[in-house]
Structure 1
Amino acid sequence: MALPASRITLSSKPVAPHKSFSKPDFKAKAAHVTDRFQYVDMWLRQSGENGKSALVYWRQAANFYRANLAVDELAKPLTSYYCILNMVKALLVSTGKDMARVQHGVSGYSAGAKTALSNEYVKFKFSGVLSDLSRYFEEPVSGSDECTLLDLLYNLPHIHRAYCMTIPSRSKKELFIPLAECGFYRIDGTGECFFRGTLTPGWSVNRTKNKLPSGFEIDPTVDVGALAVRRKKRFKWKGKSEKVKITNLSKYHRKLRRNIFQIFDAQEKWYLKRDTASGISDGLIDKNPCVIAFAAMHRLSELSRYDPDKLSRHFNNRYGWLLTEFLTRTLDQVLDDLASEITGCEVK
Structure 2
Amino acid sequence: MAAIPIKLNNRVIYVQKSIGAPVFGASTVLVDDTWDFVGMWLRRHSTKESVFYWNQARDFYEATQSLAKTAKPLTAYYSALNATKALLLAHRIPHSPYHGVTGKALPGKTSLSNEQVGMRANGVFGALSDYFSEPRPDTGFISLKDILYNLTYLHRAYTVTYTSEPELFIPIDNPHFVRKAQASESWFCCEIAGRRFTRPATLNTLDGFENDPYYNTKKTVVRMKKRFRWKHGGSKHDNIARLTTYHKRVRKHLFYIAGSTRLWYIKRNSDPTGFINRSSSTLTFAALHRISEIARYRPDSLQKHFECRHNWLLSEFINGSLTQYIDEISSEITGADFMPTRIRT
* Shared fold per TM-score greater than 0.5: yes
Cα pair 1:204 1:226 within 8 Å, conserved: no
Task: Tell me which residue corresponds to 2:343.
Answer: none
Task: Tell me which residue corresponds to 2:114.
Answer: 119
Residues in 1 aligned to 2:216 and 2:198: alpha-carbon distance in whole angstroms: 13
Task: Tell me which residue corresponds to 1:149.
Answer: 144
| Alignment counterpart, residue 307 of structure 1, candidates 279, 298, 301 | 298
Q: CA deviation at 1:178?
A: 1.1
Cα pair 2:151 2:280 within 8 Å, conserved: yes
Residues in 2 aligned to 1:145 and 1:267: alpha-carbon distance in whole angstroms: 37
1:196 aligns with 2:189: yes
Cα pair 1:181 1:269 within 8 Å, conserved: no
Residues in 2 aligned to 1:98 and 1:57: alpha-carbon distance in whole angstroms: 15
1:291 aligns with 2:285: no
Residues in 2 aligned to 1:150 and 1:206: alpha-carbon distance in whole angstroms: 28
Q: CA deviation at 1:136?
A: 0.8
Cα pair 1:7 1:185 within 8 Å, conserved: yes
1:103 aligns with 2:98: yes
Residues in 2 aligned to 1:211 and 1:151: alpha-carbon distance in whole angstroms: 22
| Alignment counterpart, residue 248 of structure 1, candidates 232, 242, 250 | 242
Cα pair 1:235 1:249 within 8 Å, conserved: yes
Q: Aligned with 1:213: secondary structure?
A: coil
Q: Which amino acid aligns with 1:91?
A: L
Q: Aligned with 2:223: secondary structure?
A: strand
Q: CA deviation at 1:206?
A: 3.3
Cα pair 1:53 1:94 within 8 Å, conserved: no
Residues in 1 aligned to 2:261 and 2:189: alpha-carbon distance in whole angstroms: 16
Residues in 2 aligned to 1:131 and 1:263: alpha-carbon distance in whole angstroms: 24
Residues in 1 aligned to 2:195 and 2:292: alpha-carbon distance in whole angstroms: 37
Identity of matched residues, %: 39
Task: Tell me which residue corresponds to 1:32.
Answer: 30
1:61 aligns with 2:57: yes
Q: Aligned with 1:262: secondary structure?
A: strand
CA distance 1:203–1:242, shift in 2 (3 Å): farther
| Alignment counterpart, residue 214 of structure 1, candidates 207, 213, 231 | 207
Q: Aligned with 1:153: secondary structure?
A: helix
Q: How many corresponding residue pairs?
A: 338
Q: Deviations over 1:63-121 (max 9, x none)?
A: 0100001110110111111111111111001112455x610001001001210001000
Q: Deviations over 1:167-191 (max 9, x none)?
A: 1331xx1111111011101111211
Cα pair 1:184 1:193 within 8 Å, conserved: yes
Q: CA deviation at 1:212?
A: 3.5
Gapped regions of structure 2 (runs ≥ 5): 340-345
| Alignment counterpart, residue 311 of structure 2, candidates 320, 323, 333 | 320
Q: Aligned with 1:168: secondary structure?
A: coil
Q: CA deviation at 1:162?
A: 0.8
Residues in 2 aligned to 1:114 and 1:44: alpha-carbon distance in whole angstroms: 46
Q: Aligned with 1:331: secondary structure?
A: helix
Equivalences for 1:122-271 in 2 at 5 Å? 122-170=117-165, 173-203=166-196, 205-207=198-200, 210-238=203-231, 239-265=233-259, 267-271=261-265
Residues in 2 aligned to 1:153 and 1:24: alpha-carbon distance in whole angstroms: 26
Gapped regions of structure 1 (runs ≥ 5): none
Q: CA deviation at 1:160?
A: 0.5
Q: Deviations over 1:319-342 (max 9, x none)?
A: 100011111111111111111100
Q: CA deviation at 1:220?
A: 1.7
Q: Aligned with 1:123: secondary structure?
A: strand
Alpha carbon RMSD of aligned pairs, Å? 1.5
Residues in 2 aligned to 1:150 and 1:240: alpha-carbon distance in whole angstroms: 48
Residues in 2 aligned to 1:161 and 1:133: alpha-carbon distance in whole angstroms: 26
CA distance 1:45–1:268, shift in 2 (3 Å): same
Residues in 1 aligned to 2:83 and 2:201: alpha-carbon distance in whole angstroms: 37
Residues in 2 aligned to 1:153 and 1:210: alpha-carbon distance in whole angstroms: 23
Residues in 1 aligned to 2:292 and 2:268: alpha-carbon distance in whole angstroms: 29
